[in-house]
Structure 1
């Protein structure tokens, strides 16, 4: 790999925004808004605070040492090879299954315009296209991703402008809505439980920002670039999401939102803009494709990191700037995921795919647990550049909050299977590592003990 990266603050920021702003916000946020009512704004602000803490913690470790594999490598340094192996493969597997499902979702949306479209064929073609685009290299990909991210951001900004015009009466021959539906709605229809119940979905709408860490080795001047990219990412996400929800609330009663219709479409249709459905459908397709492109970027680099440590087949090792073997391997994995949808019973397939959300939250828990130990051992990054305020309290606060959100998954309809599928993944990969480790110790005629199998003796915090 090249030691001199090309990615700028703009590239990293747009890559992160392109990853995060996807179907979870344009479509999935309906349930979170319905659950929390107008109080959803608190959920998004709180979620933004957690994102800031997690990203800043990741930034501190990355500034101190740019490592391929990012949080996977840092976790291994702090807690040993078992943790490094498990988090790497759980993250890759969950994301692979989730993105194969997203390819199918895009195919379903495309059927709006092409009724006779073969969904499995289209999903496979989408995966092939996403894979080939990733082979072009980080700079070309992030340039494309920047364009797609701008389309998504423009759609949200356009919605904000239209909604604001209706609220303030700037639309000709239309009276000002003012507070509109918000005037007759309770702020917290389900109390604190509604806020708590919305947090899981809110975190999913923010998920994907960790891509900045995986892209760090390819960044230009990481000490300067990464902290600023993180600042702009958090500012952009929290700002866009919060303002969009503020102007949405007067347009439509939160109790009328459903998971089948984007809240942005519901709001615009409520004020008479029926043409918004087709336009937002196109934006939703772009949003998902953009997320898939960025996810593939991260998965390819995670596979390379695993292969370099001997945690994946040696033929996946790749010293080029672009981890072509990891990208192609991830593409094949996504094609297998699409195939499973037609081979396995639907209940089992949905059970497996639901692990994607858990995998991301699990990665964030590992990041915070790693940061806690990293700072305790190493102090601040070089030159005393501590970015995260009030350590260790902020680190522990985010860690506990994330664990609570994970534990709450069974309380959200359809998310309980995600927790159980994710825990099964963790167990399977943990057992797999210990079996592989025990065999290698036997082969080397070394003593086998629980400590040697787990690899505590290989922890290297420096």
Structure 2
């Protein structure tokens, strides 16, 4: 173990309540959100059947990033995951920005998913105001998160199980239709080419769609945050990350393939709800009820994960002085309840603002976090390159799960992420999200300057990913604080 561990032992420790089965389903649930069931229809409508390619490229990018993150998480499972790795690799400024960007991203997810879930329930209970339904969902899931990590894990296990079963059934039904086994079916792949061709809107539209597709995959990294509370973090992360290929190909690309094979891509129903459109073609009864139930499950899963993620990231930020120590306190069950309540409170305020000012606030929330996850992913990729080189020198035995074809594939992943972010800045459909997310980043960086100038210097740091002694860690932390340009220096050295 690292020599810095005794210093960590003095701080409150999260419980170890997550089993391997929880971790596997947390990884799956993080990827499968309401975006797959509803948002994918927007991508299909804007690209045509070639949406399969858009999702494949985005899946490849996500796969590479998760492999890079898994390498770090297996070598050094820590509270805060990539926030800590960014801090260790690129300095305190990068760590601060990464942690708070990610916290902000999922706080907004809490609000958005609560509103989305309330709207679905309102279809069944139209007389109940939306804000009451949304607040009710947050209260219920906040309560489950505040009990214990295992309570969160159990809820996410069953939510994710329902989503997985729904997609597997959908894929099986689709295969029966495409192969002609389903009664009155139209077998074959005619819809891939008969309505304007495979790329009716051009390859430019296909590449532009990669930007929102990458956002749909956001959430796979939650399993590395949960690793700090797993009974067997090394084994859990390895198994979860190694199965991500099958999840991406089967659940996303496979289901999109089924949609565009069975229903023509330009059908109005595809843009609204692609899965419901396919089930309707197949003559499945009560399609709207079935899909609303599945989408509600996906929304609750995302809300549950978002509440968990915000609390654990905030807890990690407190351990390095990047957030008030007030949020460090744990319950007897090892749960950071104060951190959960903060994330929930911001969600409550957002829901109330949406109630008072309507779509204006909702649009602002969506735009202000649109590119934040992409910024975090870019930092993850750069951090992996820095830490991998450091581990190769100082502790190669810790590398039990390695990034493929290092360093060239890591460099390629960084280039891909830069391309996606650049595309988001240029494309008219995503430019507002890029600008608002950039403003969010600027505010966070200003917060770091305030913390650096007026805040207390943290007494300790997270364990360094080497066998360096505690004194060396302290010296490194002091040097980081005194050298604001250290992040840029490390980055320049890494890329050259």
* Cα separation, partners in 2 of 1:204 and 1:257, compared to 1, 3 Å: farther
Q: Which of 165, 189, 192 is residue 182 of structure 1 equivalent to?
A: 192
Report if the CA contact (8 A) 1:44-1:238 is conserved. Answer: no
Q: Which of 87, 107, 114 is residue 125 of structure 2 equivalent to?
A: 114
- Residue aligning to 1:359: 372
| 1:40 is aligned to 2:51 | yes
More divergent stretch after superposition (424-433 vs 91-100): 91-100
* Cα separation, partners in 2 of 1:100 and 1:165, compared to 1, 3 Å: same
More divergent stretch after superposition (371-380 vs 12-21): 371-380
More divergent stretch after superposition (239-248 vs 208-217): 239-248
Following the alignment from structure 2 to structure 1, what is the Cα–Cα distance between the partners of residues 490 and 76?
A: 14
Deviation at residue 451 of structure 1 after TM alignment:
7.2
Report if the CA contact (8 A) 2:87-2:94 is conserved. Answer: yes
TM-score (norm 1): 0.91
| 1:393 is aligned to 2:411 | no
Residues 336-383 of structure 1 show CA distances to partners (whole Å, capped at 9, x for unaligned) of 121222345743541233233322212111100111111122227535
Deviation at residue 453 of structure 1 after TM alignment:
7.1
Report if the CA contact (8 A) 2:71-2:399 is conserved. Answer: no
Following the alignment from structure 2 to structure 1, what is the Cα–Cα distance between the partners of residues 327 and 399?
A: 37
- Residue aligning to 1:432: 447
Residues 85-132 of structure 1 show CA distances to partners (whole Å, capped at 9, x for unaligned) of 111111111221232022111111112111112101111111111111
More divergent stretch after superposition (394-403 vs 342-351): 342-351
Q: Which runs of 5+ in 2 are unaligned?
A: 1-11, 458-478, 492-496
Following the alignment from structure 1 to structure 2, what is the Cα–Cα distance between the partners of residues 326 and 378?
A: 32
| 1:224 is aligned to 2:235 | yes
User: Which secondary structure does the structure 2 equivalent of 1:272 belong to?
Assistant: coil
* Cα separation, partners in 2 of 1:215 and 1:283, compared to 1, 3 Å: same
TM-score (norm 2): 0.85
Following the alignment from structure 1 to structure 2, what is the Cα–Cα distance between the partners of residues 283 and 349?
A: 23
- Residue aligning to 2:309: 298
Residues 118-174 of structure 1 show CA distances to partners (whole Å, capped at 9, x for unaligned) of 1011111111111111112222221221111111111112222222222222233x1
Structure 2 matches for 1:334-373, cutoff 5 A? Answer: 334-344=347-357, 346-373=359-386
* Cα separation, partners in 2 of 1:453 and 1:336, compared to 1, 3 Å: farther
- Residue aligning to 1:409: 424
Structure 2 matches for 1:58-73, cutoff 5 A? Answer: 58-73=69-84
Following the alignment from structure 2 to structure 1, what is the Cα–Cα distance between the partners of residues 360 and 396?
A: 47
Following the alignment from structure 2 to structure 1, what is the Cα–Cα distance between the partners of residues 429 and 365?
A: 12
User: Which secondary structure does the structure 2 equivalent of 1:255 belong to?
Assistant: coil
More divergent stretch after superposition (276-285 vs 244-253): 244-253
- Residue aligning to 2:3: none
| 1:454 is aligned to 2:464 | no
Residues 251-273 of structure 1 show CA distances to partners (whole Å, capped at 9, x for unaligned) of 11112256862111112223433
Deviation at residue 328 of structure 1 after TM alignment:
1.4
Residues 362-418 of structure 1 show CA distances to partners (whole Å, capped at 9, x for unaligned) of 211110011111112222753543521111111121122122212222555653222
Following the alignment from structure 1 to structure 2, what is the Cα–Cα distance between the partners of residues 386 and 439?
A: 41
Report if the CA contact (8 A) 1:51-1:234 is conserved. Answer: no
Following the alignment from structure 1 to structure 2, what is the Cα–Cα distance between the partners of residues 280 and 9?
A: 29
Following the alignment from structure 2 to structure 1, what is the Cα–Cα distance between the partners of residues 298 and 149?
A: 19
Deviation at residue 240 of structure 1 after TM alignment:
1.6
Report if the CA contact (8 A) 1:61-1:381 is conserved. Answer: no
More divergent stretch after superposition (153-162 vs 116-125): 153-162
Following the alignment from structure 2 to structure 1, what is the Cα–Cα distance between the partners of residues 244 and 255?
A: 16
- Residue aligning to 1:374: 387
More divergent stretch after superposition (127-136 vs 232-241): 232-241
- Residue aligning to 2:263: 252
Following the alignment from structure 1 to structure 2, what is the Cα–Cα distance between the partners of residues 64 and 357?
A: 31
Residues 55-111 of structure 1 show CA distances to partners (whole Å, capped at 9, x for unaligned) of 111111112211111100110111111111111111111221232022111111112
- Residue aligning to 1:446: none
* Cα separation, partners in 2 of 1:365 and 1:4, compared to 1, 3 Å: same
Following the alignment from structure 1 to structure 2, what is the Cα–Cα distance between the partners of residues 285 and 134?
A: 19
**Cα RMSD for the two superposed structures:** 2.7
- Residue aligning to 2:470: none
Report if the CA contact (8 A) 2:322-2:451 is conserved. Answer: no
User: Which secondary structure does the structure 1 equivalent of 2:243 belong to?
Assistant: helix
User: Which secondary structure does the structure 2 equivalent of 1:250 belong to?
Assistant: helix
Deviation at residue 229 of structure 1 after TM alignment:
1.1
Structure 2 matches for 1:141-160, cutoff 5 A? Answer: 141-160=152-171
Q: Which of 98, 106, 109 is residue 109 of structure 2 equivalent to?
A: 98
Following the alignment from structure 1 to structure 2, what is the Cα–Cα distance between the partners of residues 256 and 54?
A: 34
- Residue aligning to 1:197: 208
| 1:328 is aligned to 2:341 | yes
Report if the CA contact (8 A) 2:270-2:277 is conserved. Answer: no
Deviation at residue 316 of structure 1 after TM alignment:
0.6
Q: Which of 264, 267, 272 is residue 283 of structure 2 equivalent to?
A: 272
